[in-house]
Structure 1
Amino acid sequence: MFCNALNYAILASVLAGCVAADRVLIGFRVVSAKEAAIINDKSNIFRDSEYCYVKADENRLDSTPKTWIPKISASGTHLWGASESTILNYVRAQMESGEDEDNSLRLGLIELNEPNEQLLIPTSMANNDALDFYARCFASQYELSQHYWEVVNYDSWTKQRGRKE
């Protein structure tokens, strides 16, 4: 869906101060056993193929803008497969006063697999621990489902921008 999807990390983890905040599920991930060991050791996700769940601080998530990236913008610009600068310009246009496009989560339908949805987290948000992420991985989808399983309802999230289509 996004040309530079590989430029987006899906997480970072560090506690926010001394207070343990509630976390909410934001997605699932498949990674390698080696990567899963790193994730489980550091409670932080990277790339590769075991089955992982990812959580984020609920208050931080609620206060973060989320931008739906449609296949084609209202002005006719093709966004899926577009350059990062084109997508960033679209995200910037969706922001309200005081919001930063670099700190907006990106949501979209998965091309050729609609209505499935995906979440992309900008690298800067992961590197800055913007959402206080936590992740845990398992060797199989079955094992994951024994520990944690629910559908992520992106439609219930606050501060949504853009068009879901």
Structure 2
Amino acid sequence: MLLGNINRISIFLALVYLCTSGQGARIVIGYRVVAEAEARRIKDTKTPFRDPAHDSEFGSQIGNGVYLGKAIPGELPTVTHGWITDQHISAVERPGGWRETKGRENFHCVFKADEDKFDDAAKAWVPSTYWDEGERSIAQYIRGFGEDPDETVRISYIAGYGKTLQMLLPTSMVNADTLDIYAKCFPSKAELMEYENEIVDWRDWNLYGEPGEPGL
């Protein structure tokens, strides 16, 4: 009887190992504020999504994908127009750091990635010489480092906001769930901060290139 119990325990432990051996610890990579529809999708899937139909050759500052903006509370203006939700999805390095959008119900979200996968992912600064030059030009710049632009995390200053940073996760990287991202949203800033309040410093990461001059 005892031997049988030991065998069952051994099998259980082996199954646990097989289920977890491919998964690293999760780390916070950013926060963002989204509309109700996006929050519902995140609640259902626990992951972000970027509609490729929104991608365009000259659509965004540092390319196509999910934008995560690094902002100090009060440093950026309140969002009053819709483009921010389509191309520059608002997220920050600290919970509750990005102001809410007027005229809608706002949800505060945290994004975490598999630590090993995120550490392995290529990351690159995109200097101002490439801002708004289109996806093709930025992709060529990233290929110069020997990396796939569709699988490279991009970081730059936000044009017009000094040293405030933003991060871009390319569309294909997001939709393929390359980083094994887990997302969770809350109806208030207070509820988010009760769940997670870690502050992320993107400058600590190993990035290709140089940041260049801040966006004036």
TM-score range relative to shorter protein = 0.7 to 0.9
Question: What residue number does 1:162 align with?
Answer: 209
Tell whether 2:29 aligns with 1:26.
Answer: yes
- How much does 1:139 deviate? 1.6
C-alpha distance in 1, partners of 2:132/2:190?
33
C-alpha distance in 2, partners of 1:131/1:161?
18
What are the Cα deviations for residues 64-84 of structure 1, in whole angstroms up to 9, with x where unaligned?
110110112xxxxxx111111
- How much does 1:164 deviate? 1.4
Mapping of 1:27-66 within 5 angstroms? Answer: 27-46=30-49, 48=85, 49-66=106-123
Of Structure 1 and Structure 2, the greater helix share is in: 2
TM-score by length of 1: 0.76
**1:33/1:148 CA distance change after superposition, 3 Å:** same
C-alpha distance in 2, partners of 1:46/1:36?
11
Gaps of 5+ in 2: 1-17, 51-84, 86-105
- 1:18 aligned counterpart, secondary structure: helix
What are the Cα deviations for residues 69-116 of structure 1, in whole angstroms up to 9, with x where unaligned?
0112xxxxxx111111011111111x24xx322211111111222322
- How much does 1:141 deviate? 2.3
Question: What residue number does 1:132 align with?
Answer: 180
Tell whether 2:119 aligns with 1:118.
Answer: no
Q: Answer whether contact 2:48 2:174 (CA < 8 A) is retained.
A: no
Instruction: Give the counterpart letter for 1:55 in structure 2.
Output: K
TM-score by length of 2: 0.59
- 1:113 aligned counterpart, secondary structure: coil
Percent identity for Structure 1 against Structure 2: 38
What is the root-mean-square deviation of aligned Cα atoms in Å? 1.8
Q: Answer whether contact 1:27 1:119 (CA < 8 A) is retained.
A: no
Q: Answer whether contact 2:49 2:175 (CA < 8 A) is retained.
A: no
What are the Cα deviations for residues 28-76 of structure 1, in whole angstroms up to 9, with x where unaligned?
111112321221221012475421110100001111110110112xxxx
What are the Cα deviations for residues 104-138 of structure 1, in whole angstroms up to 9, with x where unaligned?
11111112223221111111111222100000111
Q: Answer whether contact 2:156 2:165 (CA < 8 A) is retained.
A: yes
Tell whether 2:133 aligns with 1:82.
Answer: yes
Tell which has more relative contact order, 1 or 2 (C-alpha 8 A, sep 6+).
1
Aligned residues: 139
Q: Answer whether contact 1:57 1:132 (CA < 8 A) is retained.
A: yes
Question: What residue number does 1:6 align with?
Answer: none
**1:39/1:113 CA distance change after superposition, 3 Å:** same
Gaps of 5+ in 1: 1-16, 73-78
**Considering only CA atoms, is the larger Rg found in Structure 1 or Structure 2?**
2
